[in-house]
Amino acid sequence: VCVRNQGSVAAENYTLKFYDGQTEVGSVAGTKIESGAFAMLTYEHTFTQEGEHTLTARCEMEADEFLANNMTADFYVSVQPEGVRSSMVEAYEGEDLNYYAPLNMYDKNSLSWLLYNRNDLAFESGDNISGMAFRTKFAKETDRMHLVVYIGETNQDNIMTSVPVPASLTKVFDGAVTVGDKDGGNLVINFQRAYSYAGKNLIVAVYKETTEAYSYNIDFGFYGYYSLSAVSAVAVHSAEPIDLTQVNMTEDEVRSAISLHKPSTIFLLNDQVSYHSVNFEVTDQNGQEVKNATVTFDGTVMAAGKYKVENVPDGTYAYSVSLNGETVSGELTVNGADVTEKVQLQHVANESNQKQTMVRIYPNPTDGKLHIDVAEGAKEINLYDISGRSVRRINRVPAGIIELDMTDCHSGIYLLKIDNRAFKVSKR
């Protein structure tokens, strides 16, 4: 800390105290400073608690004639676990504020794409990105914003004409964050799963939802710098939620949403991320192995009967297991070891899982036409409504795909019986 004596006489017998928030964490005795001179004082502090910290230093001296200038400006520190290192994308100068990327607070919902050229990144292929931080200036606290962050890589040098659908990238964060520091601070997003960098240009999509929008007399912004060599940010905003699976912007729409401002960004890199396998054990209501269910893991639909996922980094993942109209969903956490997840399907009455591989029913739910793939044929197919009344019946079903027309059936749940096997189907 630089302490300057602006008084008319030499200053001594003062103490420089250090604060973490409102808590005093230490102090050092000041050295004599002549009028108009300054001294550099150092205090070493080891953090024991992860998270966001606001540090200040304050001079205390009995003979001080003017107390208003005794305290430093706030110094914001994000404390990360051991093994995490930080990498700033690019130095910037000045107090440049941007109001649209990565978040726009003047609308309830906003979506931004940020492009980081590989030449600006101070990390290498194979490094694990475990989070990112932006420097903020908000005029008021914002409690529990919903953020979704996607990361991917591209050979595009700019995003002047097209941007990817966010859901086509890797989702690394889906949760709530709070901006608690007014007048400046760090918005730190610790990812729920690490992203393994492959060495190309990095593209980040950040989606924000809030219950209310700022009025235009409330100031907010993100510090950063202008990038004139390549457009780095595209931002859209809406009063209604944005479907992240179907954001298809035309070239003109992208050009109209361009921002030349790139927010100052710090990437968090974790050298201790490990990769593991996730294996699903799927059984029926009798506890017998089911061999032909479909597993969806972290948004990726796997081939029927494939139950093992390799090279999964530590993190929390959503999954679902489906068969014959029944779906079991859940979440699992990978943390330093392989994971085996046991899933039981309650409405799959297996006589033999081999037989069940011979029947496929789709689409389910259906808007009208239901396709039934009966590989070995069947004696009869019956469709019953919720009251038990038969509404469709087909005898002597040949092997192959048949079409069952439910167009004039009421919306609701139906029971489809193929010989002695029962399946639940839905009409929308």
Whether residue 354 has pLDDT greater than 70: no
Whether residue 228 has pLDDT greater than 60: no
pLDDT of residue 351: 43
pLDDT of residue 357: 44
pLDDT average, residue stretch 133-151: 83
pLDDT average, residue stretch 76-87: 85
* Ordered DSSP codes for 406-424: -TTSPSEEEEEEETTEEEE
Compute, in degrees rounded to 10, the torsion defined by CA atoms 282, 285, 288, 294. Answer: -30
Rounded CA-CA distance 275/221 in Å is 37
Whether residue 353 has pLDDT greater than 50: no
Compute, in degrees rounded to 10, the torsion defined by CA atoms 214, 217, 220, 226. Answer: 120
Whether residue 202 has pLDDT greater than 90: yes
pLDDT average, residue stretch 54-69: 81
Q: Which residues, 6 or more positions from 312, have their beta carbon under 8 angstroms from its beta carbon?
A: 275, 276, 277, 278, 334, 339
Whether residue 150 has pLDDT greater than 60: yes
pLDDT of residue 57: 93
Structure confidence by residue, pLDDT tens digits, 112-122? 888 888 988 88
Beta bridge mates, 39: 3
Q: Give the three-class secondary structure for 118.
A: helix
Task: Answer yes or no: are the C-beta atoms of 282 and 326 closer than 8 Å.
Answer: no
pLDDT average, residue stretch 160-168: 84
pLDDT of residue 99: 65
pLDDT of residue 180: 62
Asked if the bond preceding 363 is cis, omega within 30° of 0, the reply is: yes
The mean predicted confidence, pLDDT, of the chain is 84
Structure confidence by residue, pLDDT tens digits, 170-180? 889 988 887 76
In which band, very low, low, confident or very high, does the pLDDT at 51 lie, cut at 50, 70 and 90?
A: confident
In which band, very low, low, confident or very high, does the pLDDT at 217 lie, cut at 50, 70 and 90?
A: confident
Whether residue 289 has pLDDT greater than 80: yes
Tokens 């859209």 -> residue: 236
Whether residue 214 has pLDDT greater than 70: yes
Whether residue 361 has pLDDT greater than 60: yes
In which band, very low, low, confident or very high, does the pLDDT at 387 lie, cut at 50, 70 and 90?
A: confident
Q: Quickly list H helices, 62-169.
A: none
Asked if the bond preceding 102 is cis, omega within 30° of 0, the reply is: yes
Q: Which residues, 6 or more positions from 322, have their beta carbon under 8 angstroms from its beta carbon?
A: 293, 294, 296, 328
pLDDT of residue 397: 85
Global confidence as pTM? 0.64
| Percent of all residues in the chain with a pLDDT value above 70, rounded to a whole number | 91
pLDDT of residue 24: 93
In which band, very low, low, confident or very high, does the pLDDT at 279 lie, cut at 50, 70 and 90?
A: very high
Whether residue 325 has pLDDT greater than 50: yes
pLDDT of residue 338: 94
Letter for the amino acid at 402?
Answer: I
pLDDT average, residue stretch 366-387: 85
pLDDT of residue 31: 92
pLDDT of residue 140: 74
Asked if the bond preceding 263 is cis, omega within 30° of 0, the reply is: no
CB half-sphere exposure, 415, CA atoms < 13 A: 13
Whether residue 350 has pLDDT greater than 60: no
Whether residue 352 has pLDDT greater than 50: no
Residue with more model confidence, 25 or 237:
25
Whether residue 45 has pLDDT greater than 50: yes
Structure confidence by residue, pLDDT tens digits, 229-271? 555 677 787 888 888 888 877 777 777 777 667 788 889 999 8
Letter for the amino acid at 343?
Answer: V
In which band, very low, low, confident or very high, does the pLDDT at 295 lie, cut at 50, 70 and 90?
A: very high
pLDDT of residue 165: 87
pLDDT of residue 227: 62
Most confident of 31-40, 85-94, 310-319: 31-40
Whether residue 196 has pLDDT greater than 60: yes
